[in-house]
Amino acid sequence: LFSLTGKTIAITGGGRGLGITLALAVVEAGGNVACLDILSEPSAEEWTSLSALAKKTGRSVTYHRCEVTDETSIESVMDTVARDATARQAPFWGTIACAGIQQQVPALDYPAADFDRILRVNVTGVFNTAKYAARVLRREGRPGSIVLISSMSGNVANRGLSCSAYNSSKAAVQQMCRSVAQEWGQYGIRVNTLSPGYIRTAMTDQLLQENPDVERTWMAGALLGRLGAPEDFKAPAVFLLSEGAAFVHGSDLRVDGGHCA
């Protein structure tokens, strides 16, 4: 039901953190994966595990440098991934738009240029990713699945942090999902958001370094007694990509350990 065998998925932000863990999940579910990121190379330890699993299972994993805010960059990488996928007889099936950035600045002092940069990566970058993935699917005349990584911060403001731009961007992704779902459902291209709660990654480590006391606040809302780990999102992401979610479209799947309950 949840197999991705014979399918190729592109994952932005696939160079480290949540993105590279979701790449592992795609391979574990039988798919091929292309990791797209601005990093010159992916995080070494995770890439070694991902490549080893791909080799063992006969899947393909590739890494592509890409800037999601640059339309030329994302269009050309999506086209390359789709061409390779056809050649490997595991056609392009969709994407996880996971690239994102975070910043803490008190709202009264937030420089407009910084606010714009967060929106540019987290909103326009996600839109570009979804748009060029959907264009490939349209051109090839196939259905597919697009997963946009939002956040519980799209529903509630992060407690103890000054993240007005980030929270705004994640709410925008949820409304973007509902909007493009209206347009792309007719082609069988499903679009959903996956909204994680707090996950221990480089992104949250940076926030905790800036503001160590905030972990206590986060734990107060952690009904399962812990923050998330990237592995907690593997099955939810595979579900949304898979045929098991054939009637799930324009939805938000919140995976936050009860934080927003």
The 3-state secondary structure of the chain reads CCCCCCCEEEEECCCCHHHHHHHHHHHHCCCEEEEEECCCCCCHHHHHHHHHHHHHHCCCEEEEECCCCCHHHHHHHHHHHHHHHHHCCCCEEEEEECCCCCCCCCHHHCCHHHHHHHHHHHHHHHHHHHHHHHHHHHHHCCCEEEEEECCHHHCCCCCCCCCHHHHHHHHHHHHHHHHHHHHHHHHCEEEEEEEECCECCHHHHHHHHHCCCHHHHHHHCCCCCCCECHHHHHHHHHHHHCHHHCCCCCCEEEECCCCCC
CB of 201 to ligand NAD, least distance (A): 3
Total residues interacting with ligand NAD, rule: CB under 6 A: 29
Please say which residue, 33 or 199, places its beta carbon nearer to ligand NAD. 199
CB of 246 to ligand NAD, least distance (A): 25
- Residue of the chain from 23, 24, 54, 68 that contacts ligand NAD (CB under 6 A): 68
208 scored as a contact of ligand NAD (CB under 6 A): no
221 scored as a contact of ligand NAD (CB under 6 A): no
201 scored as a contact of ligand NAD (CB under 6 A): yes
Please say which residue, 99 or 134, places its beta carbon nearer to ligand NAD. 99
Report how far apart, in Å, the C-alpha atoms of 159 and of each of 52, 219, 220 are.
Answer: 39, 11, 10
Spatial CB neighbours of 257, under 8 Å, sequence gap ≥ 6: 197, 222, 223, 224, 226, 227, 228, 232
- Residue of the chain from 4, 8, 10, 15 that contacts ligand NAD (CB under 6 A): 15
149 scored as a contact of ligand NAD (CB under 6 A): yes
For the question of residue 170 being annotated catalytic, the response is yes
- Residue of the chain from 53, 101, 105, 157 that contacts ligand NAD (CB under 6 A): 101
CB of 87 to ligand NAD, least distance (A): 25
For the question of residue 166 being annotated catalytic, the response is yes
13 scored as a contact of ligand NAD (CB under 6 A): yes
Please say which residue, 90 or 129, places its beta carbon nearer to ligand NAD. 129
Please say which residue, 151 or 164, places its beta carbon nearer to ligand NAD. 151
| Region from 84-92, 93-101, 107-115, 236-244 binding ligand NAD, contact rule CB under 6 A | 93-101
Which parts of this chain interact with ligand NAD (CB under 6 A)? 12-13, 15-19, 37-39, 66-69, 98-101, 121, 125, 149, 151, 196, 198-199, 201-204
Active site amino acids: 166, 170
